[in-house]
Amino acid sequence: MSAPVHRWAGSPPPGRIALRFGGAVLDYGALDAAVAGMAGALAARGIGRGDRIGFLGHNHPAQIVALLACARLGAMQVPLNWRLAAPEWRFILEDAGASLLLATPDFLQAAADAAPEGCAVVDATMLHGAPVETTGTDDDPLLLVYTSGTTGRPKGAVLDQRALRFNALNAIATFGLSPDDRVLTVLPLFHVGGLNIQTTPALCVGAEVILHPRFEADAFFDAVEQGRPTLTLLVPAVMQALVSHPRWGSADLSSLRAIGAGSSDVPLPLIEAFHQRGIPVQQVYGATETCPIAIVQTRDEALAAPGSIGRPALHAECRLVDAAGAPCPPGADGEIQVRGPAVLRGYWKRDDALTADGWFPTGDVGRVDPEGRYWFTDRLKHVIISGGENIYPAEVERLLRTAPGVAEGAVVGRDDPRWGEVPIAVVVPGEGFDPARVLAHFEGQIARFKQPRAVVALPALPRTALGKVEVARLREMVAAHPSR
């Protein structure tokens, strides 16, 4: 190859397989050529250092090629969650100031409908131009990933090339990644989890990535039995779908030396189900803002302490602080904070991401046991995690307040056997209240997974002396209350 695929690793042999997607196979030589061609095509369209490029589609090699092309140019990829609604895509693209939106063929029309004025839409699978000089550096932002904020509007986490490089080093150390590995990727690449916990680190070491457009249980079992991957990454909802599938007991899973798991608290019964099949479940804790690897379990730790989220990653510092920001005494619960080269440099057009001394406050509560292992205990931000997707109540509540017949409203999570949690709208009825009309109000305005699954009517919302809704009490009331 004339140059490495990207600047975070050396050059693997050109004939080594990099990506498998459907029936297509892309070796490292072909991947390098595709990245060079994509970079050339983007440069010909005027894309350069600091420019933002959206990407919309199910998992596809084109998203990886586009990311690496952005790295060469010093540009930024803005991955869009394909589960969102058109107004949500438009807000992100407008906020990011994206001048170009790449889409896979099946999302081209949706992309055209969502793109704001001045943002061109292009088929991501058709871009190829003459190679250009590599100008991207460690200091250049590479990913602008939007995560729902507690204020009800998404905000973009800015991750530079250095962050992805150190995150890859964290992953390599955590999973023992080597060129002999085969990583099965079924989680969406629009999340830093699906993209950066195993996928980009695998490419950094010259391993093989088996990429699926999206998770399907039968396709997963087929891929493990036929492709013999050594590693994969799952979330609890996917783990549950596999464990409850008719093929779970008979499928040959012997090629998997471990799975990574994250995005929320992983139920112990799911961990035990995989351990009974001889597959350690290595928990990975982090956030979009930490690229995401911050606290991890090694394979040995996964077997020694199931349920723990592990210890700080190789290139991460972690601490627990109390409400006043002071270090917590041993054994006490506190907010998890993270610092290191893989942490975001800031939020796009905002300056509230980090503390003065560079710590990222996760909003999650944890504790450290006498052996130094971290355990997740609660969420300060009351985020609802449904099927691995983060749902922030404030965003849903913003729409709930405009629903017909709603005098007051709040949104909380309720336990669900399939999704872990689902959002529930809690409403103080006003004139013309109709639960069906309230639920219909959300259609087409926010992603389906964010839409409340039911409506609970109460005479009043429980509030503190300062007038704030008591979320913990509200969750208890919702759990005990019949909904419509």
What is the domain partition of the chain in residue ranges? 17-368, 384-480
Percent of the chain surpassing pLDDT 70:
95
> Is residue 472 predicted with pLDDT exceeding 90?
no
CA distance 267 to 336: 20
Tokens of 267: 């139920």
CA distance 57 to 79: 9
CA distance 340 to 165: 12
Report the pLDDT value the prediction gives residue 5, as an integer from 0 to 100.
Answer: 46
Q: Which helix (H) or strand (E) is 397 found in, with range?
A: helix 393-400
CA distance 64 to 289: 20
CB 481 within 8 A of CB 412: no
CA distances from 157 to 44, 45, 79, 150, 349 (A): 27, 25, 11, 14, 10
Per-residue pLDDT reduced to its tens digit, 127-137: 999 999 999 99
CB 456 within 8 A of CB 478: yes
- Tell me the average pLDDT across 30-44: 96
Please state whether beta strands 100-103 and 52-56 pair in parallel, antiparallel, or not at all (unpaired).
parallel
CA distance 249 to 251: 6
Amino acid code (one letter) for 95: D
Strand, coil or helix: what is 155? strand
CA distance 429 to 426: 9
Residue bearing the bigger pLDDT, 353 or 429? 429
**249 CB-contact burial (10 Å; exposed 0-12 / middle 13-18 / buried 19+):** exposed
Tell me the sheet residues that pair with 421.
415
CATH of 17-368, one of 3.40.50.880, 2.102.10.10, 3.40.50.12780, 3.40.190.10: 3.40.50.12780
CA distance 278 to 124: 40
17-368 and 384-480 agree in CATH topology: no
Cis peptide before 292 (omega within 30 of 0): yes
Identify the CATH number of the domain defined by range 384-480.
3.30.300.30
> Is residue 4 predicted with pLDDT exceeding 50?
no
> Is residue 266 predicted with pLDDT exceeding 60?
yes
Confidence of residue 392 (pLDDT cuts 50, 70, 90): confident
Task: Say what the alpha-carbon torsion angle 437, 443, 445, 448 is, to the nearest 10 degrees.
Answer: 130
CA distance 186 to 484: 34
Per-residue pLDDT reduced to its tens digit, 175-227: 999 999 999 999 999 999 999 999 999 999 999 999 999 999 999 999 999 99
CB 223 within 8 A of CB 184: yes
Could you tell me which of 454, 460, 447, 442 has the C-alpha nearest to residue 479? 454
Confidence of residue 97 (pLDDT cuts 50, 70, 90): very high
